[in-house]
Amino acid sequence: MKIVAEADYVLVGSGSAGSALAYRLSQAPGGHDVAVIEAGGTDVGPFIQMPGALSFPMNMPRYDWGYKAEPEARLRGRALVTPRGKVIGGSSSINGMVYVRGHARDFDHWAESGASGWAFRDVLPYFKRMEDMENGDPDWRGTDGPLHVQQGRMENPLYRVFIEAGAAAGYPVTADYNGAAQEGFGPLQQTIRGGRRWSAANAYLRPALQRGNVRLVSAHALRVRLENGRAVGVEIARGSRRTGLVRARREVILCAGAINSPLVLMHSGIGDPETLAAAGIEALVPRRGVGKNLQDHLEAYIQQSCTQPITLNGYLNLFSKGRAGLEWMMLHTGHGATNHFESGGFIRSGVGVDYPDIQFHFLPGAIRYDGRGAAEGHGFQAHVGPMRSKSRGEIRLTGSDPMAAPSIRFNYMSHPDDWREFRQAIRLTREIFAQSPFDGYRGPEIQPGAALKSDEDLDGFIAAHAESAYHPCGTARIGAADDPDAVVDPECRVIGVEALRVADSSIFPRVTNGNLNGPSTMVGEKAADHVLGRGMLTPEDRAPVIAEGWRERQR
């Protein structure tokens, strides 16, 4: 096969983890060169760089793989869209720009499930290395890393009203949910810098490309080429033409995300033998966990009408959008310079839950995440959903063609506990909206609607209206080398193959609390040190705040 490019390290995917890896591998002493294979194109232009335009790129075939999940039996047969970034920066270029690390106990759970060396004490130094947090506490936060993080400016009064309502309901207020205390209400943090989306491409990839030892290969990765049990490169295609091999002198690292990394593995003959056989692919390396353990966050939009004309619904007409876009292009300020998710919260759903399992994103508008279905008049909403669903899905091949779309089945709400947790999340949101700080703003409930109160009513609403939060993960999970369901070992090496690793959200054993861009980037940072073999950053023992009396009370 023709060798079209060659490098020490060949990365597949330029998303959150892939860009971080390219940055750190190219920075290391030794002059290593890196080739990054990316199927998507440029991120130049306002649809991606303007934070306020976030609903556009995830609906544009130019930037999105266009995946759609299989119809979900428990969601009335609805097939939910699964947007994934097909552009430099990957999904960090089309996401909502909300920055959440996850709770410390999420990572302790990873370690307890076989990912030794991935407890919170181990990953905290990597979060700190990657962050450039405005006014961050240096004991807990990084302040000079590549990834700029800021708090929302909260110019609309409803942002603070939401925090005050949480406090009135008896919950704590937290100034930094990515610091010592996640539980509580406070400002949300954003990957925005100077009014621009601060994606992995802007934070990591562009600086790496300027070094001269990183190059971008614009192509579709088809499969990893294996010779005598070792990964020697990646076969690629441009358009419909299969071009050749990008050869790796040292290692191949898959960073293509929770959907595409397992697909590349399976098309390479690495996966469950029965699954591969059904697609007409020979199993070269049997790993039954590839494509399994698929997880996501499901959420609902709890919408309330607003009695004052101060919400985003007043800025959805063509003239207002044009004015906001013009201001952003000239000054990088105004409504275009924010993602509009500027306050939120993390709470526990009930007695006996030791750390938060419900997340809120508050928006001073009543509109779908994708920008569609705006409510008439003025309104506000909270996106809410359980963080640790027990439902598990699977990604499967639909044939042997690497260019074919996969079968994605999340099996949402397939565990009975999910229904109880989701109902509780809705009821707790209603309770927060009913607090006195909202008295001067609260009109009738728009969605679900005040008449829907019983368990049966809420279950019907969930089935009809719950949406993905676009946080897929877990499909090539990390674990002990002797775990038959693990795909990679604690150094991100694919078990049973030499010189092949996976580093992205697909390795998560269990989904973390909150949005996944942050922990995915951390995976890339930490994986780089595993690849380089130069030792890990010194663990830091910092105990997170856990609510006193959590065994006896919910708040």
Is the pLDDT at 321 greater than 90? The verdict is no
CA distance readout (Å), 301 to 55, 314, 461, 517 = 16, 19, 11, 21
Query: Which contacts of 332-338 are long-range, i.e. CB under 8 A and separated by 24 or more positions?
Result: 332/194, 332/195, 332/196, 333/195, 334/52, 335/52, 336/46, 336/50, 336/51, 336/52, 336/53, 336/195, 337/50, 337/51, 337/52, 337/192, 337/195, 337/196, 338/51, 338/52, 338/152, 338/153, 338/190, 338/192
Question: Across residues 90-115, what is the average pLDDT?
Answer: 98
Backbone φ/ψ region at 327: left (φ over 0), alpha (ψ -120 to 50), beta? alpha
Query: Which amino acid is located at 154 in the chain?
Result: M
Query: Which amino acid is located at 240 in the chain?
Result: S
Domain with CATH 3.50.50.60 in the chain: 1-58+84-146+198-289+473-540
Domain with CATH 3.30.410.40 in the chain: 153-187+298-386+414-465
Q: Which class is domain 153-187+298-386+414-465?
A: alpha beta
CA pair distance 517, 409, nearest whole angstrom: 22
pLDDT band at 340 (very low <50, low <70, confident <90, very high): very high
* SS3 letters across 122-134: HHHHHHHHHEEEC
Q: Which of 32, 340, 383, 471 is catalytic?
A: 471
pLDDT digits (tens, 9 = 90+) for 37-96: 999 999 999 999 999 999 999 989 999 999 999 999 999 999 999 999 999 999 999 999
CA pair distance 519, 320, nearest whole angstrom: 35
Q: Do 421 and 386 contact (CB within 8 A), yes or no?
A: yes
Is the pLDDT at 195 greater than 80? The verdict is yes
Question: Across residues 424-431, what is the average pLDDT?
Answer: 98
CA pair distance 19, 255, nearest whole angstrom: 9
Verify whether residue 267 is a known catalytic residue: no
Quick one: tokens of 364? 């001073």
Closest-CA residue to 25 (of 38, 35, 37, 13): 35
- For the chain, the average pLDDT equals 96
Q: What's the pTM value of the predicted model, to 2 decimals?
A: 0.97
Instruction: Return the beta strands (E) in 387-423 as ranges.
Output: 394-396, 407-409
Burial of 238 (0-12, 13-18, 19+ CB in 10 A): middle
Residue 474, C-beta contacts closer than 8 angstroms, at least 6 positions apart: 258, 293, 294, 295, 392, 505, 506, 508, 509, 510, 511
Rounded percentage of the chain residues whose pLDDT exceeds 90: 92
Q: Which CATH superfamily is domain 1-58+84-146+198-289+473-540 in?
A: FAD/NAD(P)-binding domain (3.50.50.60)
Q: What share of the chain is helix, strand, coil (3-state, %, to 5)?
A: 30, 25, 45
